[in-house]
Amino acid sequence: LGKIAIDDVSYLGAVNWVIGDYYTSKAAKRWWGKDNLSKTEGIGREWSYGTTYNIEKFSKDIRTSAVFSTLTRDSAYANEKILQIEHTLGRAKAANVLLLGEPGVGKVDLLIEVARRMKKGSSLDSITGKHMIVLDTDKLFASFKEKQEFELAFISLLTEAAKAGNIIVVIENISSFIRQSEAMNVMVSELMDQYLASPEVQFVCTDTPRAHHAYLETIGAFTRRFEEILIDAPDLSSTTRVLQGIAMNEERKYKSIFTFQSLKAITEAADRYIVDGVMPDKAISLLIDVATYAKQNNKIMIDSDFVYTVVSDKTGIPTGPIKEEERDLLLDLENRLHQRVIGQEKAIDAIARTMRRSRAGIQRSDRPIGSFLFLGPTGVGKTETAKALAFVFFKGEEHMHRIDMSEFSGPDALERLIGDGTHSGVLSDMLQEHPYSVVLLDEFEKSNTEVHDLFLQILDEGIFTDARGIKVNARNTIIIATSNAGSDLIMKTVKQRGDIDVLNKNIIDHIIEKGIYRPELINRFDSAIIFEPLTIEEQGSVASLMLGDLYERIKDRGYDLQLGSELINLVVQKGYSPEFGARPMQRVIQDLIEEKVAQKIISGEAQKGDSIILTKDDFTDVDFQTAA
Q: Report the pLDDT averaged over residues 221-231.
A: 90
Q: Give domain status of residue 39, yes or no.
A: no
Taking the C-alpha atoms of residue 6 and residue 68, their distance in angstroms, rounded to an integer, is 61
13 belongs to a structural domain:
no
Residues 192 and 83 in one domain: yes
Number of structural domains found in the chain: 4
Confidence of residue 45 (pLDDT cuts 50, 70, 90): very low
CB-CB contact of 370 with 462 (8 Å): no
Whether residue 475 is found in the same domain as residue 494:
yes
Whether the pLDDT of residue 417 is over 50: the answer is yes
Whether the bond into 103 is cis, omega within 30 of 0: no
Flag whether 48 is in a domain: no
**Residues 350, 250 share a domain:** no
Q: Do residues 393 and 262 both lie within one domain?
A: no
Torsion of CA 168, 172, 177, 178, to 10 degrees: 60
Contact yes or no for 477/443 (Cβ under 8 A): no
Specify the pairing of strand 167-171 against strand 201-207. parallel
Q: Does 200 fall in a domain?
A: yes
For the stretch 554-582, pLDDT in tens is 999 899 999 988 888 888 888 888 778 78
Domain final position from 278, 297, 321: 321
Worst-scoring range by mean pLDDT, 344-353, 410-419, 437-446? 344-353
Give residue 303's pLDDT.
Answer: 92
pLDDT over 90 at 135, yes or no: yes
Give the mean pLDDT of the chain. Answer: 84
Most confident range, picked from 44-48, 114-118, 378-382, 427-431: 427-431
Last residue of a domain, one of 230, 256, 277: 230
Task: For residues 128 and 182, state if they share a domain.
Answer: yes
> Could you give the CA distance from residue 379 to residue 578 in angstroms, rounded to a whole number?
9
Q: Is the pLDDT of residue 260 over 60?
A: yes
Q: Determine the average pLDDT of the residues in 127-135.
A: 89
Number of Cβ atoms within 10 Å of the Cβ of 223: 17
In angstroms, the CA 441 to CA 483 distance is: 9
Query: Does some domain include residue 28?
Result: no
Q: In this predicted structure, what is the pLDDT of residue 316? A: 74
Q: Which residue has the higher pLDDT, 13 or 331?
A: 331
How crowded is residue 43: how many other Cβ atoms within 10 Å of its Cβ?
A: 22
Q: Give yes or no: residues 249 and 215 share one domain.
A: no
Indicate if 433 and 498 belong to the same structural domain: yes
Q: State pLDDT tens for residues 282-315.
A: 999 999 999 999 999 999 999 999 999 899 888 7
pLDDT on residue 413: 92
Classify each residue of 138-160 as buried b or exposed e, where b means 16 or more C-beta atoms within 10 Å of its C-beta. eebeeebeeeeebbebbeebbbb
pLDDT digits (tens, 9 = 90+) for 451-461: 999 999 999 99
Q: How confident is the model at residue 43 (pLDDT cuts 50, 70, 90)?
A: very low
Task: State the pLDDT confidence band at 405, using cuts at 50, 70 and 90.
Answer: very high
Predicted pLDDT of residue 128: 86
Please write the tens of the pLDDT for every residue from 480-514.
999 988 777 777 766 655 566 677 778 888 888 88
202 lies in the same domain as 114? yes
C-alpha span between 101 and 104 (Å, rounded) = 8
- In this prediction, residues 359-371 reach a mean pLDDT of 83
* Helix/strand/coil percentages in the chain, nearest 5: 55, 10, 30
341 and 470 part of one domain: yes
- In this prediction, residue 579 carries a pLDDT of 76
* 518 assigned to some structural domain: yes
Residue 327 lies in a domain: no
pLDDT (tens digit per residue) in 585-626: 888 899 889 988 999 899 888 888 888 899 888 887 767 676
Reported confidence tier of residue 25, pLDDT bands at 50, 70, 90: low
State the pLDDT confidence band at 423, using cuts at 50, 70 and 90: confident
Stretch 403-417: mean pLDDT: 93
Q: What is the pLDDT of residue 533?
A: 84
Percentage with pLDDT > 90 across the chain: 32
Report the percent of the chain where pLDDT is more than 70. 87
- Whole-number pLDDT of residue 64: 63
Give the pLDDT confidence score for residue 257 in this predicted structure: 93
| Statement to judge: residues 504 and 544 lie in one domain | no
- CATH (domain of 609): 1.10.8.60
205 and 231 Cβ atoms separated by less than 8 Å? no
User: Both 436 and 485 in a single domain?
Assistant: yes
Is 166 a residue whose pLDDT tops 70? yes
**Shared-domain flag, residues 71 and 213:** yes
Boundary (domain end) residue, out of 321, 347, 373: 321
Q: Which carries the bigger pLDDT value, residue 276 or residue 37?
A: 276
Task: Give the pLDDT confidence of 53-107 residue by residue, as tens digits.
Answer: 788 888 888 866 655 555 555 566 688 889 999 999 998 888 899 999 988 888 9
Q: What is the CATH number of the domain that holds 341?
A: 3.40.50.300
Confidence bin at 36 (pLDDT 50/70/90): very low
Q: Which domain holds residue 245?
A: 236-321
Position 454 scores a pLDDT of 95
Half-sphere exposure of residue 289: CA atoms within 13 angstroms, side-chain side = 21
